[in-house]
Amino acid sequence: MTQTPSVERPPSSARETRPAGTSARPAPARRGWFGRNYIVPLAVAAAAYLLYQLPPYLTFDPAKSDIQMQFPLHYTILVGHVLTGTVTLVTLVLQLWPWLRRNHPAIHRWSGHLYVFGGALPSALLALAMFPVAFKPGSVAVLMSGILWAVTSVVGWVRARQGRYAEHRRWMLYSFAIVWGQTVWGFVIGMTLFSLPVAIDVTYISEAARWVGWVGNLLLVHWWLERTARRGQVPAYSGRRS
């Protein structure tokens, strides 16, 4: 009778253990300095934008605004939009900070609530309230971005509440792409076109600044998400609600 050779099993302490129903995760891709520290230039860009745009509205003086007031509450709505937009950019940087997300998930959750309900939603709604009197060139782009920004932010928050963190990450990155493209990139595009040595009609500059920034950023973020998904990289956040 032939005896089946025994296979020596490694001790339990040496065997890999993982929860049932899960597979081994691939090792994270090696990243350069920028890939590890992207939050630094992101925070610097947000701070520079706020330092340039915010001070005139902190005086609460309508004469300091570059926008002509069209109705009695116009300036109040505009200041509210600017201040809630400031909350948006500050909490956005906190939300995208990997160290904070990994080591202080409670702060990540609360800053996420503040981003959605203290920043994105009120800022988007106030922008929509000014649409009827907005400067017409590019106003449709602002309308579309405001609606999509509110929708992606709320869907991202709902997915986090449901524990569907991969979808939460995707929708919140879409939200980031829209607001960052509309504000920071839109501002950069507009200032760049205005500074060119050739004269360009302000209509074309406004349309380009208000469309290209957020649409291009949204397409770029979507491409990056699909590319990293195909590589099987580990999601940036997979924590649980306490």
pLDDT in tens, 17-50: 444 444 444 444 455 544 567 899 999 999 999 9
17 in a domain, yes or no? no
Give me the chain's average pLDDT, please.
84
Confidence of residue 229 (pLDDT cuts 50, 70, 90): confident
Kindly give, in sequence order, each residue whose CB lies less than 8 Å from that of residue 77, ignoring residues fewer than 6 positions away.
126, 129, 130
28 in a domain, yes or no? no
Distance CA 108, CA 102 (A): 9
Residue 2 has pLDDT above 50, yes or no: no
Confidence of residue 129 (pLDDT cuts 50, 70, 90): very high
1 in a domain, yes or no? no
19 in a domain, yes or no? no
Q: Give whole-number Cα distances, 45 to 94, 96, 154, in Å.
A: 14, 14, 25
pLDDT reported for residue 104: 94
pLDDT reported for residue 72: 85
Counting the structural domains of the chain, the total is 1
Q: Nearest CA to 180 among 215, 138, 226? A: 215
Residue 185 has pLDDT above 70, yes or no: yes
Question: Average pLDDT in the 145-172 region?
Answer: 96
The answer to whether 231 touches 27, Cβ cutoff 8 Å, is no
Kindly give, in sequence order, each residue whose CB lies less than 8 Å from that of residue 71, ignoring residues fewer than 6 positions away.
133
204 in a domain, yes or no? yes
Question: Average pLDDT in the 72-98 region?
Answer: 94
Q: Quote the domain boundaries for residue 83.
A: 38-231
Q: Nearest CA to 150 among 130, 183, 172, 181? A: 172
pLDDT reported for residue 7: 41
